[in-house]
Amino acid sequence: MMIRNMGSINPTRGIAAVVGVGPKLGRSIARKFAHEGYTVAILARDLGRLSRFADEIAREEKAQVFAIRIDCSDSRSVKEAFEGVLSLGFVEILVYNPYQPVSWHPPNFTDIRIDAFEKSLAVSSVGAFHCAQQVLPTMVEKGRGTILFTGCSASLNGIAGYSELCCGKFALRALSQCLAKEFQPLGIHIAHVIIDGLIGSPRGSGSPAQRTTAVGEHIQSGGDGSLDPDAVAQTYWYLHLQDRTTWTQEIDLRPSTTRFI
């Protein structure tokens, strides 16, 4: 575990744990919660890159940011990572945002390797199951908390050639719905966020959109058709702030340029 200490832990707030922090959406979500005064734990497989993100966010937001390695396909890795997270204090927010890369030129179904299929299921849904189990007991004890799962257009529609992605994302959506029905009456807000489009770079960065977040063969977009990760992160923050009398259980986000075919 790497610690980036640019301030003291805020005793009035819990920890925001963001699982699956890459250079786009995960980093933006972590930065948003740090900006709002939370101590943030960021988790991903590449600890070297993660530590650079922690340095950057801690410096910019004058916040405490902890970089912790995790492999969401490995239950032991999840448990060890969350031993570190839970040692920081009460995890008030869990954002589950890992992504298992898939080819944009998929093989025929009969050519898909079973280990690739199982890996995608493990990252998309089994890892989410393990992470949620780590934080829910204390959330229930305190009667509050937020869990946000990142889905994509493949969470809703089967797509030819992408069975491993779609099956994992379908399962993640089902997990979110089951947990919402069980735990929202106990004070824990659980929501599924469907990213229906491509995550680009924050406005003004000049970098092209990266085709790494969602599969959307059923849409076409004008311009580059990408979503600004900072704007998407703002939605995650709004979900956390929602009054419990008006909780959202699922929301879909897409750029205004999108048109359906």
> Residue 258: what pLDDT?
63
> Residue 259: what pLDDT?
60
Report the length, in residues, of the chain: 261
CA angle 211, 215, 218 (to 5 degrees): 120
The tokens describing 81, both together, are 């990572």
Total Cβ atoms within 10 A of residue 232: 21
Q: Which residues pair with 68 in a beta bridge?
A: 43
C-alpha to C-alpha distance for 13 and 250, rounded to whole angstroms: 25
Write phi, then psi, for 153 (nearest 5 degrees). Answer: -60, -25
> Residue 239: what pLDDT?
98
The model's pTM: 0.88
Show pLDDT as tens, one digit a residue, over the chain (261 residues). Answer: 555 555 555 556 899 999 999 999 999 999 999 999 999 999 999 999 999 999 999 999 999 999 999 999 999 999 999 999 999 999 999 999 998 776 677 778 988 889 989 999 999 999 999 999 999 999 999 999 999 999 999 999 998 888 989 999 999 999 999 999 999 999 999 999 999 988 888 875 544 444 333 443 333 333 467 899 999 999 999 999 999 999 999 999 998 876 654
Counting the structural domains of the chain, the total is 1
Q: Which domain holds residue 230?
A: 2-260
Radius of gyration of the chain from Cα atoms?
18
Torsion of CA 30, 36, 63, 59, to 10 degrees: 70
C-alpha to C-alpha distance for 211 and 209, rounded to whole angstroms: 6
CATH code where residue 170 lies: 3.40.50.720
> Residue 221: what pLDDT?
37
> Residue 111: what pLDDT?
87
Question: Count of alpha carbons within 13 Å of 119, Cβ hemisphere only?
Answer: 10
